[in-house]
Amino acid sequence: MPGSFEKPEIRDKTALARQVYTLLKKRYGPARCPLHYKKPHELAIAVILSAQCTDEQVNRVTPALFERFPEAIDYARAPLAVLERLIHSTGFFRNKARSIAGFARILVERYGGVLPQTIAELTAMPGIGRKTANVILGEIYGKAEGIVVDTHVKRISKLLGFTRSANPLQIERDLMESVPQTYWVDWSLYLIFLGRDRCRARQRICDDCVLNQICPSSTAQVRSKT
């Protein structure tokens, strides 16, 4: 098409990752966890609740939940029926209530209420998968043992060419090979922000996306500056 600009092919995925990170950081500013919490165990509970539920809905539910049960031990002792009622609107509330109670019980009995600092220890706790463990380590401890892979990260990573896999574990491995470790904690948050803002599953707004000049899947007609 006359006047169009062909996006350069970036064979070095680490170089691409650096460009992506720089552009998204400039666009969205400091990366902040969208889930609201005041205590470390509250973040873990919020992430458990976020499965198959929007962050916005979780943030509507957690204030009353956290006020009713301020400490981890309170969840371990809480009647499941009460937990279920308070978290009902997040979906899958029976499973989530059992996971929260089991998580809190182990947190108190085995770790004295202090969240462990390794993926292996965290993922051995009820309701805590690898994604949740990565969120906890990055947000609470600033540690990067891996990269959070949610639906936005999964989809956008494929669009950007960092992976061809649909398996979250393989996607995480592929990203860890390309993305500098210093970016791991914030990387997923930036892709999530992009996924909600412009690179949506049902409607990608490529013409107004900050990555449209470097994304190999962009449909934008970016005009040449020459």
CATH number at residue 91: 1.10.340.30
| Annotated catalytic residue 150 | yes
* Residue 220 pLDDT: 84
Residue 176 within a domain: yes
| Annotated catalytic residue 131 | yes
Q: Within this chain, do residues 118 and 161 fall inside the same structural domain, yes or no?
A: no
The whole-number average pLDDT for the span 26-51 is: 96
Residue 64 within a domain: yes
Residue 35 within a domain: no
The whole-number average pLDDT for the span 122-130 is: 96
Domain end (from 141, 157, 183): 141
Residue 221 within a domain: no
CA dist., res. 182 & res. 108, Å (int): 32
Residue 65 within a domain: yes
Q: Is the pLDDT of residue 24 over 70?
A: yes
> Taking the CB of residue 48, how many other CB atoms lie within 10 A of it?
23
Q: Is the pLDDT of residue 225 over 80?
A: no
Q: Is the pLDDT of residue 183 over 90?
A: yes
Residue 195 within a domain: yes
Q: Within this chain, do residues 112 and 186 fall inside the same structural domain, yes or no?
A: no
Q: Within this chain, do residues 115 and 59 fall inside the same structural domain, yes or no?
A: yes
* Residue 221 pLDDT: 63
Q: Among 39, 55, 74, 150, which one carries the catalytic annotation?
A: 150
Q: How far, CA to CA in Å, does 10 sit from each of 102, 159, 183, 218?
A: 46, 14, 19, 14
Q: Is the pLDDT of residue 5 over 60?
A: no
Q: Encoding tokens for residue 167?
A: 């398996």
Q: Among 13, 96, 131, 154, which one carries the catalytic annotation?
A: 131
Residue 74 within a domain: yes
Q: Within this chain, do residues 117 and 170 fall inside the same structural domain, yes or no?
A: no
Q: Within this chain, do residues 127 and 155 fall inside the same structural domain, yes or no?
A: no
Residue 151 within a domain: yes
Q: What is the pLDDT of residues 70-85, one digit of tens each?
A: 999 999 999 999 999 9
Q: Is the pLDDT of residue 3 over 90?
A: no
Domain ranges, residue 80? 40-141
The whole-number average pLDDT for the span 4-33 is: 82
Name the domain count of the chain: 2
